[in-house]
Amino acid sequence: DSNNNVRESAVMVLSEIGSEIAISELIKLLKDSDKNVRDSAVDVLGKIASETAIPELIKLLKNNDYNIRLTAVEAIEKVSSKNAIPELINFLKDPGSNICRRVVDILGKIASEIAIPELIKLFKYPESNVRCQAVEVVGKIGSGIAVSELIKLLEDLDKDVRRSAAEALGKICSETAVPRLIQILEDSDKDVRRSAAEALGKIGSETAIPGLIPLLKDSDKNVRRSAAEALGKIGSETAIPELIPLLKDSSCDMRDKAAEALGKIGSEKTIIELTKTLQNNSSFKFKKGLSKTVKVIQTIQQRLQYYKPTPKIPMSKTLSHNYALLIGVGDCKYPNWSLPVTVKDVQAIKSFLTKPDLCGYIDN
């Protein structure tokens, strides 16, 4: 029919039929002069999701008309067939960057390692957005084949490419990348620093700790947060003295991340350092840091099965009540647990509890 609306309505009817009988007619409509008709045909082919359409769609990839090639790519994306991979790889060389990006996106959804060598070639593509997308897909597929090339991209002139490369290396969890990721913790771009910190946290190498610690004082809050999270994932006691001061950070989110990191490290040394901090009560403001410190201690006690008593009587001050739980008031709820740090350091916490300007308990 010569009327665009009629042809589009016909596509909708074919959608209702939803049968492979309709495929040949739908493929013809991918060449339609009207974009709305082509788009509707793509959507219907995606709903039918039949492998039968792939050979004809691949033929359309060779059409001289750019719009028809792009439409064919969109249809293949909807069907998501691995049978199309060899032909799709050929079209990574398509002169239209939109088609190239769409093909890369499809390969990412299909997630096949067959495409990795050709995707690596795109790391040198002139347009940075294509390089970025190729890097992201390689990271998603998670192949170690690309590690050496991804490391090179940490020096790319485009900050988004550097960021994407760091993220991909984190997903692949490559120890080989650690030295270069540590170096770009000092990158001029905050998102690159953040991505490098996150990648190092996923990889979990203790060699990254000296590089991550300075980022706890980074000018960007997201970088500080990612550094704290990475240190928690690595789980080394080396980071404890650097994380504890962050429990009184002005940012609630930062205090949460520091508490979470300390909880993950979860060692006896953490409780020792925290109780020392409680002794120096001048370092805390009353509603900033205290509750986080208690939360960390209780988390570690639970994980390590430390003595955690239940009080016999209710206490009037909620905050000081939490501290009272730590010093052994009442009967032990868990008789099989050991009695390490909390009991050893009872005097330190008792000293804090009896400060008249803080909790104000009587020393009895």
Distance CA 226, CA 200 (A): 10
pLDDT in the model for residue 315:
42
**φ, ψ dihedrals at 158, nearest 5°:** -90, 125
Residue 329 has pLDDT above 70, yes or no: no
- Which band of pLDDT confidence, cut at 50, 70 and 90, is reported for residue 194? very high
The pTM is what? 0.67
Distance CA 117, CA 199 (A): 23
pLDDT in the model for residue 70:
75
- pLDDT tens per residue, range 10-58: 556 655 555 566 777 777 777 777 888 777 777 777 666 667 777 777 7
**φ, ψ dihedrals at 197, nearest 5°:** -65, -45
Mean pLDDT of the chain: 76
Distance CA 312, CA 35 (A): 75
pLDDT in the model for residue 113:
81
Residue 291 has pLDDT above 80, yes or no: no
pLDDT in the model for residue 8:
61
Task: For tokens 């400060």, name the residue.
Answer: 355
- pLDDT tens per residue, range 64-123: 777 777 777 777 777 766 777 777 777 776 656 677 777 787 787 776 788 888 889 989
pLDDT in the model for residue 131:
93
Kindly state the helix (H) or strand (E) to which residue 278 belongs, with its residue range: helix 268-279
Label residue 80 left, alpha or beta by phi (over 0 means left) and psi (-120 to 50 means alpha): left
Instruction: State mean pLDDT over 137-145.
Output: 88
pLDDT in the model for residue 319:
43
Tell me the residue type at 207. Answer: T
Kindly state the helix (H) or strand (E) to which residue 253 belongs, with its residue range: helix 252-265
Distance CA 125, CA 118 (A): 11
pLDDT in the model for residue 13:
60
Instruction: State mean pLDDT over 258-274.
Output: 77
Closest CA to 100 of 61, 138, 64: 61
How long, in residues, is the chain?
364
Show the domains of the chain with their CATH numbers.
Answer: 1-79 (1.25.10.10), 235-364 (no CATH)
pLDDT in the model for residue 331:
42
**Which ranges in 61-158 belong to alpha helices (H)?**
66-79, 85-90, 97-110, 116-121, 128-141, 147-152
Which has the higher per-residue pLDDT, 33 or 289? 33
β partners of residue 332: 309
Label residue 173 left, alpha or beta by phi (over 0 means left) and psi (-120 to 50 means alpha): left
pLDDT in the model for residue 332:
45
